[in-house]
Chain A
Amino acid sequence: MFKRIYNFVLLFKEYAVFSILLVLSLVLMALNDNTQIRHIRGVATVVFGVVQDQLAFVPRYFSLRKENDILRRMNVDLADEASQLREAKLENDRLRRLLGFKDVSHYPLLAAKVVGKNLTLLRNTITLNIGKLDGVLPHMPVVGDGGLVGVVANVNDHYAIVRILYNTDFRASTKSQRARVDGILAWDGEDLILTNVAKNLDIVAGDTLITTDYSSTYPPNIRIGTVSEVAEQQGSLFKRVLVTPGVDFVKLEEVFVISYIPDSERSELEQSLQQKLRR
């Protein structure tokens, strides 16, 4: 093997020696720092750049593969980051709206996150991540950025279950903000309706509905929603008033529990009257 190489070198010894001496000469020349060498370096840089540019179309398989891996990983990281940012922005928007509500509310509010939802039953509820230890008590009203959400039905140390508007057990004394027409808000399993609205009363689609002073559970003037449709009922003294709630329960994620404790004196008086009437 070595003999072959030796013979080969011997056969082309003139070229080998010439090449070595040529390289040596070029190295000696490169040691200069005169105008000519600087100019040649400049030209060489340009030529090298042009050649490299022309050869750029040749795919560099291994480096491309490595680059691809890095880019793919970066893509996943960035997608994750973008998703988190989008989520943070949406949360920020929601919290800003809630803060707006907090600013106009006259009652102490307890912020809570919705950690569970039941929206397909007749007695629908949501679960909050705060409980007794946070100051939540049964019958406290719950509001979102769009208005009334429901009322606390059950509570333990760390969680609270809220009976929402779409619950057949839910009732709320309601009035039209424009015409001051009263009624009882209820859900019949299909529609949210304002009951006990006599035919002669002035209520039209688009009217905003709010809570009244009559309720011992809800503080007055909390927005509930708007009247979406008003229909006459054959053989009935009342109108059928359909209501669209201000809160989108599907998208609901953050709420406030209102620390509202009804006036006990009033409650006791009302209860004693009820008892007398029963006798």
Chain B
Amino acid sequence: MEHYVRSTLAILVLLLLQTTFIPFLSVGGFLPDVLLIWVVYIAVTRGQLEATITGFAVGLLQDAVTIQFFGLSTLTKTLAGFVAGYFFNENLTEQTLGSYRFLLITLLSSFVHNVLYYGIFLQGIQDALFTSMIEFSVAVSLYTALVSVFPMFTFVRKYRFSQSL
């Protein structure tokens, strides 16, 4: 129960960050997706089912806040959680979190998330749909993966500390 309360609080804080602080980190109009990093974290630590549900809940909240295209983030984050959930291994949770594997999982999940997101979002409003979709997807995915380095380092330190005990 405590886990779910903490998880909910974390989501709310990250949502606040995503909508207020993160826009200041915009590079060429592209923003990292910290909520997606959280979904990947849940996938690696709690498994596919929980990651899928978390993705759905996070996406729904994000849609409710942004009111840009209701249901789109819900769909893409559910898919991202489901994809990231394939990399769940309860015996290697800490190793995964504290290594480049976390970056790769984030990169892959983010790419899948963004391809779907921009694939739908740019429908009917962008002529060169495929090029723009790939361009946006790669840029945002790389940026998100780059930002996920910070939690990864935190987990590395935490993992080393637990190993030293």
Contacts and interface: CB of A to CB of B under 8 A. Distances in A.
Interface of A: 13-14, 17-18, 21-22, 24-32, 34-36, 38-40, 43
A36 B125 contact: yes
Given A18-B82, A36-B125, A40-B123, A25 B74 contact: yes
Interface in B50-86: 52-53, 55-56, 59-60, 63, 69-72, 74-75, 78-79, 82, 85
Given A13-B49, A25-B75, A32 B56 contact: no
Given A18-B78, A26-B75, A29-B71, A36 B52 contact: no
A17 B48 CA distance: 10
A21 B53 contact: yes
A31 B55 CA distance: 20
Contacts of B48: 14
A36 to B, nearest CB: 4
B124 A35 contact: yes
Contact of B82 (A14, A28, A29, A31): A14
Given A14-B85, A25-B59, A43-B123, 5 more contacts: A13-B49, A24-B56, A25-B75, A26-B75, A28-B74
12 contacts: A17-B53, A18-B52, A21-B52, A21-B56, A21-B74, A25-B59, A26-B75, A28-B60, A32-B70, A32-B71, A35-B123, A36-B125
Q: How large is the interface on B (under 10, 10 to 19, 20 to 34, 35 or more residues)?
A: 20 to 34
Q: Closest 6 interchain pairs by CB?
A: A39-B124, A28-B71, A29-B71, A25-B75, A25-B74, A36-B123
B121 interface: yes
Interface string B113-126: 00000001111110
A14 B56 CA distance: 13
B56 A36 contact: no
B12 to A, nearest CB: 20
Contacts of B78: 18, 21-22, 25
Given A25-B56, A29-B75, A17 B69 contact: no
B70 A38 contact: no
B72 to A, nearest CB: 6
B75 A22 contact: yes
Contacts of A25: 56, 59, 71, 74-75, 78
Contacts of A28: 60, 63, 70-71, 74-75
B120 A40 contact: yes
Interface in B33-53: 48-49, 52-53
Nearest to B125: A35
Contacts of B125: 35-36, 39
